[in-house]
Amino acid sequence: MNGRRILVTGAAGGIGTSLVAELLLQGASVLATDVDEAGCRRLERRFADRLEDDRLHTVPLDLTETGAPRRLVAGAVDRLGGLDGLVNNAGVEHRAALGEHTTADWRRVLEINLSAPFRLARAAAPALAGVPGAAVVNVCSIAVTGFAGQAAYDASKGGLLSLTRSLAVELGPLGVRANAVCPGFIDTPMLDESGLRGLAEKVAARLPIGRCGYPEEVAAAVVWLLGMSAGYVTGQALFVDGGMVRA
């Protein structure tokens, strides 16, 4: 990843922060964005003393704002001097029985989890086209297999996986690969925020690996898919779930 220029969304916590750390460790330059402005400042402080050069840029941004994806990509190209990869990691979860899912909930989840990645990929495609090793990685979820009580979330992640495959076919002739990473239960603050930690730990104990995953393990999978060693991999979904979908 040395010298590569990567745009990462949802960077201020959990998987996103671990991904930024791994990319910087491997020598990449990163433009990291998140709707959490305080989180962006924490990210800057975390790496301020570890970097000898200006390889991390943060942009607090709401990806649902009109024109935000286009501005973000333009800013990444300007600050990084170009673009080698896009990681659509930003996402929100909503749990409710089907009858309690409101239309507003549905629209919000799909806007952030599916529409924003579409708009970002559309905006980034011209910058990525023709760049050696250019890649898009979308962070999906084991939710693509379907679970009760999260219709909007499951639909958004299933749609994101289908979008990934469409991008692989359409952008492949331009030299751009597109893949998805589908994490299982990962030990991040989202487990607590969603109220799923108890369930996650109970399920994880029965998995072949026998535990929840770590955000660093998801980050490693994303970095591999961004790298040249995955140059013949496109249109794929890499499940980082401890064997959950096979258990």
Catalytically active residues, by annotation: 153
Report CA-CA distances (Å) from 92 to 127, 196, 202: 27, 14, 23
Burial, 10: exposed, middle or buried (Cβ in 10 Å; 0-12, 13-18, 19+)?
Answer: buried
**Beta strands across the sheet bearing 237-240:** 56-60, 29-34, 5-9, 85-88, 135-139, 177-183, 237-240
**Phi then psi for 37, rounded to 5 degrees?**
-65, -40
Q: Which residue type occupies 11?
A: A
Contact between residue 214 and residue 186 where contact means Cβ atoms under 8 Å apart: yes
Query: In whole angstroms, how far apart are CA 194 and each of 15, 92, 202?
Result: 15, 10, 15
89, 8 in Cβ contact below 8 A?
A: yes
Cα atoms found within 13 Å of the Cα of residue 10, Cβ hemisphere only:
24
Please report where in the chains the tokens 């402080």 appear, as a residue.
45
